[in-house]
Chain A
Amino acid sequence: RKEVEQDPGPFNVPEGATVAFNCTYSNSASQSFFWYRQDCRKEPKLLMSVYSSGNEDGRFTAQLNRASQYISLLIRDSKLSDSATYLCVVTLYGNKLVFGAGTILRVKS
């Protein structure tokens, strides 16, 4: 079983739509959780950290459920500029960051 699993998509949505991405992780000892965004041929960039209490940054909301080992990202009012690959990242022991395969989002006008 992969350490971090994501639905690869692609998710094709119209502008203004709400879209949700899910991610599951296999190691219950995982310590921290992040969503990164990667544009084509660019480096991954941190979108947001994910906490059990949930956190929101503008149109983006992330949630962690440790009991279910499940992480989510909700994007409201999608913009064309949100088109990218969204990577779920989990930290194991000793700074070991593990990436999920990524979910492709395409927002169309």
Chain B
Amino acid sequence: DTEVTQTPKHLVMGMTNKKSLKCEQHMGHRAMYWYKQKAKKPPELMFVYSYEKLSINESVPSRFSPECPNSSLLNLHLHALQPEDSALYLCASSQEGSYTEAFFGQGTRLTVV
């Protein structure tokens, strides 16, 4: 069973809506990630937080806004999305450093209408 919990599991939103995706882990990990995955494609990195600070932003459009309120929580705020933003959004966490594996949540399946 995953120890990274994402809510909600499914989300349908209009292009003018504002919504947030939430992610929580209690493994003491200090690196947390957001990935986007389209059907039949691999996960694509969006953001990395290290010690609650944004360390990597893969040129993601500003309609996606990440937030890391504390070491256990990661949010992704969504505003004015487009239908092509419909995808599976995956949160992951790992120990800090480049030699440790990442653990993924079950994802939020987002549909933008």
Chain A contacts to B: CB under 8 angstroms: 31-32, 34, 41-46, 49, 87, 91-102
Given A31-B99, A102-B42, also A94-B106 (CB < 8 A) = no
How far apart sit A95 and B103, CA to CA, in the bound complex (Å)? 13
CB contacts (< 8 Å) of A46 on chain B: these are 101-103
Partner-contacting stretch, out of B12-20, B48-56, B62-70, B72-80: B48-56
How far apart sit A100 and B98, CA to CA, in the bound complex (Å)? 17
How far apart sit A98 and B58, CA to CA, in the bound complex (Å)? 12
Q: Is the CB of A98 within 8 A of B100?
A: no
Interface residues on B, range: 20 to 34
In order of increasing CB-CB distance, the 10 nearest A-B pairs are A99-B42, A31-B98, A43-B104, A95-B31, A91-B98, A32-B99, A46-B101, A95-B48, A43-B106, A99-B43
Q: Is the CB of A96 within 8 A of B48?
A: yes
Q: Is the CB of B45 within 8 A of A97?
A: yes
How far apart sit A92 and B99, CA to CA, in the bound complex (Å)? 10
Kindly list 14 other residue pairs between chains A and B, CB separation below 8 angstroms, not including A44-B90, A94-B98, A96-B45. A31-B98, A32-B100, A43-B90, A43-B107, A94-B55, A95-B31, A95-B48, A95-B55, A95-B94, A97-B102, A99-B44, A100-B42, A101-B41, A102-B42
CB contacts (< 8 Å) of B48 on chain A: these are 94-96
CB contacts (< 8 Å) of B88 on chain A: these are 41
Q: Is B2 an interface residue (CB 8 A)?
A: yes
Q: Is the CB of A94 within 8 A of B99?
A: no
Looking at the assembled complex, report how far the CB atom of B82 sits from the nearest CB atom of chain A, in whole angstroms.
Answer: 22
Looking at the assembled complex, report how far the CB atom of A77 sits from the nearest CB atom of chain B, in whole angstroms.
Answer: 25
CB contacts (< 8 Å) of B99 on chain A: these are 31-32, 91
How far apart sit A97 and B98, CA to CA, in the bound complex (Å)? 9
The residue in chain A whose Cβ has the minimal distance to the Cβ of B48 is A95
CB contacts (< 8 Å) of B104 on chain A: these are 43-45
How far apart sit A31 and B99, CA to CA, in the bound complex (Å)? 7
CB contacts (< 8 Å) of B41 on chain A: these are 101
How far apart sit A39 and B17, CA to CA, in the bound complex (Å)? 31
Among B42, B98, B105, the residue within 8 A (CB) of A95 is B98
